[in-house]
Amino acid sequence: MAMILEAKGLSYAYPGGVTALSGLDLGVQRGKRLAILGPNGAGKTTLLQHLNGTLKPSAGTVHLDGTIMGHGRTELAAWRRRVGLVLQEPDDQLFAPTVFEDVSFGPLNLGLSEAEARQRVIEALNSLRIADLAERPTHMLSFGQKKRAAIAGAVAMRPDVLLLDEPTAGLDQFGAVHLLAVLEKLQAGGATLVFTTHDVDLAWAWADDIALFDAGQVARQGRPEEVLADAEALSRARLKPPFLLELGLKARQRGWLGADQPLPRNRSDAMALLDGI
4, 5, 27, 43: residue in contact with ligand ATP (rule CB under 6 A): 43
10, 35, 37, 38: residue in contact with ligand ATP (rule CB under 6 A): 38
Instruction: Name the pairing type of β-strands 33-37 and 209-214.
Output: parallel
DSSP-derived 3-state class of residue 172:
coil
- Of 88 and 145, CB closest to ligand ATP: 88
Interface with Mg ion by CB under 5 A: which range of 13-21, 82-90, 150-158, 182-190?
82-90
- Contact partners, residue 8, CB within 8 Å, separation at least 6: 25, 60, 61, 62, 63
The answer to the question of residue 18 lying near ligand ATP (CB under 6 A) is yes
Interface with ligand ATP by CB under 6 A: which range of 14-22, 70-78, 175-183, 219-227?
14-22
For residue 7, list its beta bridge partners. 26, 62
The answer to the question of residue 93 lying near Mg ion (CB under 5 A) is no
Cα separation of 92 and 5, whole Å?
A: 24
CB of 165: closest distance to Mg ion in angstroms?
6
CA distances from 151 to 170, 180, 183, 252 (A): 13, 11, 10, 39
* 9 contact, one of Mg ion, ligand ATP, none, CB 5-8 Å limit per kind: none
* 18 contact, one of ligand ATP, Mg ion, none, CB 5-8 Å limit per kind: ligand ATP
CB 192 within 8 A of CB 31: yes
Which single residue brings its beta carbon nearest to Mg ion? 45
The answer to the question of residue 45 lying near Mg ion (CB under 5 A) is yes
Q: With CA atoms as reference, report the closest residue to 30 among 9, 50, 1.
A: 1
The answer to the question of residue 203 lying near ligand ATP (CB under 6 A) is no
* 16 contact, one of Mg ion, ligand ATP, none, CB 5-8 Å limit per kind: ligand ATP
The answer to the question of residue 42 lying near ligand ATP (CB under 6 A) is yes
Interface with ligand ATP by CB under 6 A: which range of 37-45, 78-86, 119-127, 133-141?
37-45
Residues touching ligand ATP: how many (CB under 6 A)? 13
Where helices occur in the chain by DSSP H, the ranges are: 44-51, 73-82, 90-93, 99-109, 114-127, 143-155, 173-188, 200-206, 224-227, 231-236, 243-253, 267-275
Cα separation of 227 and 219, whole Å?
A: 10
- Which residues of the shown chain bind Mg ion in the complex (CB under 5 A)? 44-45, 88
